[in-house]
Structure 1
Amino acid sequence: MPAGAPRIFVSHLAGVPVFDPNGDQVGRVRDLVAMLRVGGRPPRLLGMVVEVLSRRRIFLPMTRVTGVESGQVITTGVVNMRRFEQRPTERLVLGELLDRRVRLVATDEEVTVLDVAIQQLPARRDWEIGKVFVRKGKGGALRRKGEALTVEWSAVTGFSLEEDGQGAESLVATFERLRPADLASALHHLSPKRRVEVAAALHDERLADVLEELPEDEQIEILGKLKEERAADVLEAMDPDDAADLLSELPEEDKERLLTLMRPDDAADVRRLMSYEERTAGGLMTTEPIVLRPDATVADALARVRQQDLSPALAAQCYVCRPPDETPTGKYLGTVHFQRLLRDPPFTLVSSIVESDLPPLAPDTPLPAVTSYLAAYNMVAAPVVDDSGSLLGAVTVDDVLDHLLPEDWREAEFEGTEATHGQ
């Protein structure tokens, strides 16, 4: 590769915004597309996979890229909105080349690819991959990390071979800043083999968040490839209602085996949710709302609301109940909304500001009635209470939307219209 041209490591491009010449954002870079060439020649970089605002992934040829600098990509402004389809001769740089095990030509030593660098050729608009950043040794969590070095593309071999058990550490690092829904979209567009490898490299809580955003068939695919103990750990980290929905799609023997491996308290919550009809308040609810005792203060309530792992809908209100304060609780007394908590002194008891005039939902309330309830009272969540007056859980607006949208809405969101890209 000629000297003097700026070199850009592709991990720095993951997720960067793409702008047209007027400064309007087109989307974000999700991967790069390259074509391998024979004879040790550096691969030609064909273009970028850009996720536009509609979540569709399109192909942006490198001939339409006028600048790659300062954490942004500038285009000519002419963008083809047809959905990207990978061709057999193409390789996704982030999705398929990172974490690959290759060999140094000079020593035949095995190395792991941590990153690759792209560079624009002089006097023309072509780009190619010229440098490879590798680490010696097989790597892994229990192995001492070897020397890292940057070499010419021609100094390594093995990119054209299929590989079993490809790692995912470097690719996961490029996805670290993505929201769960965006990471789910990235996984959806990987090959099934690579999708499972990346999922296996995520920690339990992160994988749980991502699974909740994936289509049902891919949830089952990933869960089925994990060791059973790990699968049970991930199910424990999921919201109980999402775990119940996923388990309900598995064969009975697999479902029971995983429930047995889960912690008894978590398994009990999931079993309880699975006992209700799917399109009812009981089947939609989560069993982990914010529950407070009557003698809790506003300061106590705000501390619970600030918990980072709470969704905005669950953090919007607290449910005041007599002990026990885990679902199913003692007698349900009413609701305190987040806005009310902000208006009262920290030492105020929640029992003095609780709203008890709004009727709770019964667990057998059908979905249309739940939807009408949230709309009529301008609520983002609603309490579900049994015949004895105990709080069972809360239905949130996001769970209602999941069941109002078409069953394939996640696939439609990820895929966009059916078409192929041009170059």
Structure 2
Amino acid sequence: MNAMNENLSQHAANSQTLLRFITAGSVDDGKSTLIGRLLFDSKGIFADQLAAVSRAKHKRTVGDTIDLSLLTDGLEAEREQGITIDVAYRYFATPKRKFIIADTPGHEQYTRNMVTGASTADAVIILVDVSKVKLREDGGVDLLIQTKRHSTIAHLLQIEHVVVAVNKMDLVNYDQDVYERIVKAYREFAQTLGLKDITAIPLSALTGDNVVEPSANMAWYQGPTLIELLESLSVYDESHASPLRFPVQLVARHNGHEANDFRGYMGRIEAGKVSVGDKLVVQPSGQSATVKEIVTFDGPLQTAVAGQSVTIVLNEYVDVSRGDVLASSDKPATLLKQVEADVCWLSEEPLDLRRKYWIKHGTKQTMARITKIDSILDINTQQRHDADALKLNDVARIGLTVQQPLAADAYTDIRATGAFILIDEVTHQTVAAGMIRL
């Protein structure tokens, strides 16, 4: 028992060494170059990768200088156009931490790709290109719309840490005043959003200033380099402290002809923990049950925690199917047939209120109809306006009616059971990503 608890504690400690983060911002802010610089300076690339980048025919640098952005731009169309289209994931590690990076597109038309990359991130790096922001005569700064859009999405998705990387400082001769004006403007905008954990860094991804090594050109900046900051960010997974949420993926049976028939419920613990002997409730049916065993490939467990994939065996014979949720009996999820949510519309086909859509919530899929559009969020002003339609990249508050009740939580409480996607029943394309509000 003690050894098992030690293993669980060690598992939790090891998981804290991994940080998932994304880069976001406007077009040509230097997101791919920044990730390339991180990989290059932290020795996170192989010699053959470096050689391939050096020979690339679409490089955007002068002479023999390496175009580090090509380390993440994997599609031929990306290299030809000099833009990022798809979400590129890269892994690297330092002696202090492991990282998974998502390089997301800056173009507005690819905002849906940014939403995909941000959905699992612990931190976001918002790049601000000093050469593009408008410095007003009154001392203020006009931020780009995509900077505001991506910051808004980061807030909606509850990303814990926001790093404002003021990039291309070499283009303004490392001017401290320009940097401070930009940071002041961003903090004022972030306050209207409700973003709290914000850290700003002046850097140049192209030259490497303050990325991995401190910049001699910006002696006035006394803070950490970008890699030092990323190594130090705390990643507290609140899902471990939440009540149990176990969406059932599969009902496992074998030897059904024998007297000792086995019936287990397979899935991934999305929140909380479960132990042998715990009292659970099956949702949406409301049946009560007790945990008999927790089975894994490596053997039985006494306790399992969020993030682990297990098979739960119950003492009682109850009706449980794929899409049901096993939840804490004292703190079950809320059963919803009328859902209020914020959505980002991801389809080039506009919303049609006359149509039905599939809603995918955890492991459950059922029919849904959008009954109303409460409001659309103006990214620039953060004001909400009435609307009767949704088009690509719109962020809106909507109302849904679902055919079968969802065992859901507010997205702000438990992300896994507070998120969903909408799927076109004809084309089977994902048309929206949503966050439930209670």
Please tell me the TM-score bracket, short chain as reference: under 0.3
Larger Rg: 1
Higher helix share: 1
Higher strand share: 2
TM norm structure 2: 0.24
TM norm structure 1: 0.25
Query: Larger relative CO (CA 8 A, sep 6+): 1 or 2?
Result: 1
